[in-house]
Structure 1
């Protein structure tokens, strides 16, 4: 008999707690909005990626290179092999990275400061030889590489980021 009383008391207690809990149920902040409305829009992954890319690019739209509209800048993570002909200069956008794969290259800058050789941890100044298979970082625009004087074959460079060929 004691077991039946305990069972009835426990069942009544659990039922009462559930009833009080359902009466006092209040939604969390923001949970009362309907998905797909202006208060809680549903967006696609491509839209979110586009907004992130715009934020990373300083709020601007797409990335094109105004100095040479036929040669658009590359995406931040895209790596492209570029063949640079003798007499041409490969100018990097700010933050672009190069790796010289074949041929002989020299650093080109319009200013006194240079280009960061991240592999050796030093700066390379205008006219210095760019070592092969070294990661070069271009912190500002107006810096790049060119084919070393006297070389007749193309220079092959891996590029991550935007660039212009002059």
Structure 2
């Protein structure tokens, strides 16, 4: 009898498992029909331009956080006219590009300014080539119209500067 009870329990377990599997198969098939369809509202297609815009917005937001929410005025490029008889004096790290006119370097010491286009140092009184990228490693140096020039200079400036009378 004990053997029959074991067979009956085993049979009931097998039938129960079969019923459970039988009930789960249709449910699993129905679950597949509710899976997300690419391009649907649950799984939208995302374009490259959308991603580019989102990344650009995130970068702008991060830059805004780092600069305290204000654009750094020293990073704006400004076109400056330097009249004859005046010096355009740079602060530390300022950058110039002489666009029009003939400029010469002004420096109170023996050091000059860095011409990054040619990779040379231009000392006091020497000409500054037009359309060259000029860096001022230290403030107090600058450019002025060349002697004998009747018109001023047009200079693109990034960084802080001041115009002084000769």
TM range (shorter): 0.5 to 0.7
Equivalent-residue separation in structure 2 for 1:103 and 1:144 (angstroms): 15
> Of 75, 85, 99, which residue of structure 2 is paired with 1:87?
85
For normalisation by structure 1, the TM-score amounts to 0.60
- Cα deviation for residue 75 of structure 1 reads 1.6
Q: Tell me, which stretches of 5 or more residues in structure 2 are unaligned?
A: 1-14, 25-60
Q: Tell me, which stretches of 5 or more residues in structure 1 are unaligned?
A: 10-43, 54-73
Equivalent-residue separation in structure 2 for 1:139 and 1:3 (angstroms): 83
The answer for the alignment partner of 1:160 in structure 2 is 158
> Of 114, 117, 137, which residue of structure 2 is paired with 1:139?
137
Count of residues in correspondence between the two structures: 115
Distance 1:101 1:6, change over 3 A: same
Equivalent-residue separation in structure 1 for 2:22 and 2:68 (angstroms): 59
**Which has a greater percent of helix?**
2
The answer for the alignment partner of 2:4 in structure 1 is none
CA RMSD of aligned residues (A): 3.0
- Cα deviation for residue 50 of structure 1 reads 4.1
The answer for the alignment partner of 1:151 in structure 2 is 149
Distance 1:52 1:89, change over 3 A: same
Distance 1:156 1:49, change over 3 A: same
Deviations 1:80-104 (A, max 9, x none): 1111011100000111100000000
Which protein is bigger by CA-based radius of gyration? 2
For normalisation by structure 2, the TM-score amounts to 0.60
The answer for the alignment partner of 2:46 in structure 1 is none
- Tell me the secondary structure at the aligned position of residue 162 of structure 2: strand
The answer for the alignment partner of 1:4 in structure 2 is 19
Distance 1:144 1:5, change over 3 A: same
